Structure 1
Amino acid sequence: MIWSNCAGCAGFVSYPADKNNAQSDPSGNLSYLHDPFHAIRLGIYDTRREITPENQISPPTRPSVCFPSPVWSFPALSSPSAVYLVLRFIRTRFFGNNTGSTMSHGKVIEVDNPVIFKALTSNGPVVVDFFATWCGPCKAVAPVVGKLSETYTNVRFIQVDVDKVRSVAQELEVRAMPTFVLYKDGQLQEKRVVGGNMKELEAAIKEITA
């Protein structure tokens, strides 16, 4: 007798590997403590696994924030010239191929280097959006953040992927996403917004631009 365990079900359910072999199921029936589509991916099909009002599992409520893995390692940081990194960033992000034009600060800039992060937060009003690509709430508020960046063109909006620039996220004690941190003339502001409260974020932006 061959059994197949579903890793996603944390060992709560086991299924016979041969299709629809009811005799190989010692309990005489199949438990519904699983996602029925999960069983179909194992190549096993049984009409008793179909979704019915009795066994349907309600989807989880969408959270307003995301939490990273509790174990974050400090990545080894390289030590290239800070001047070179900043100049390369300015040339590619602000000027492109035409050195006579500039990019408006009314657009969100993704930063993937701690040296560039410190350079861009050293002056003026700055809003830093700490996000993760797997974070649903981050994706939900992204369009609103984009509109705010177009409205407050005198504010520099920065995005930081916590999985790419973990050293910065750890230094600023970012523990949930999205988290919005604000700077004014290089000074980290005490006020920060955790979650998708865009009205609270806009109020904080008005404070650093007053």
Structure 2
Amino acid sequence: MAMNDVYAATEPERAQIDSLDGPAVLEFGAPWCGFCRAAQPLLADAFAAHPQVRHIKVEDGRGRPLGRSYRVKLWPTLIFLDNGKEVARLVRPGDARAIRDALAQIDRAS
């Protein structure tokens, strides 16, 4: 597993996310969002050292239940999960270091 460049074609159910095994990152955003696009190089840099962490990109928007269940307000919002439980959250991260630090909290193999 490595950084995912493509938003999921269908939004996963919250129960699927809650039952994930191991470390994962949910990235909420949209392909046209300037903040989301600006964060992609930062994510690529941070994920390079954490290839075993699952990265799930979810296109968010009005009426999308998964984003609402996590109370997402701004994009991108990154939710760092360990076995389906939220461990950390970053909203509009401005540097790769913050992302790396959050990844280190969930990645036992690093």
The TM-score by the shorter chain falls in which range?
A: 0.7 to 0.9
Match for residue 50 of structure 2 among 118, 139, 152: 152
**How far has the Cα of 1:165 moved from its partner?**
7.6
Bigger share in strand: 2
Secondary structure (helix, strand or coil) at the match of 2:7 reads strand
Please point out which of 11, 26, 30 is paired with 1:113: 11
1:153-177 deviation digits (Å, cap 9, x = unpaired): 1111111110388110000000001
Could you say which residue in structure 1 is the equivalent of 2:92? Answer: 195
Cα RMSD, aligned residues only:
2.5
Show structure 1 runs of 5+ residues with no match.
1-104
The yes-or-no answer on 1:166 pairing with 2:64 is yes
TM-score by length of 1: 0.44
C-alpha deviation, 1:117, in angstroms: 7.9
Q: Report the count of equivalent residues.
A: 105
Extract structure 1 runs of 4+ deviating beyond 6 A: none
Please give the residue correspondences for 1:1-210 in structure 2 after superposition, counting only pairs within 5 Å.
105-108=1-4, 110-111=7-8, 112-115=10-13, 118=16, 122-163=20-61, 166-189=64-87, 191-197=88-94, 198-210=96-108
Max radius of gyration: which structure? 1
Structure 2 residues without counterparts, runs of 5 or longer: none
* Larger RCO of the pair (alpha carbons < 8 Å, separation 6+): 2
Q: Identity across aligned pairs (percent)?
A: 24
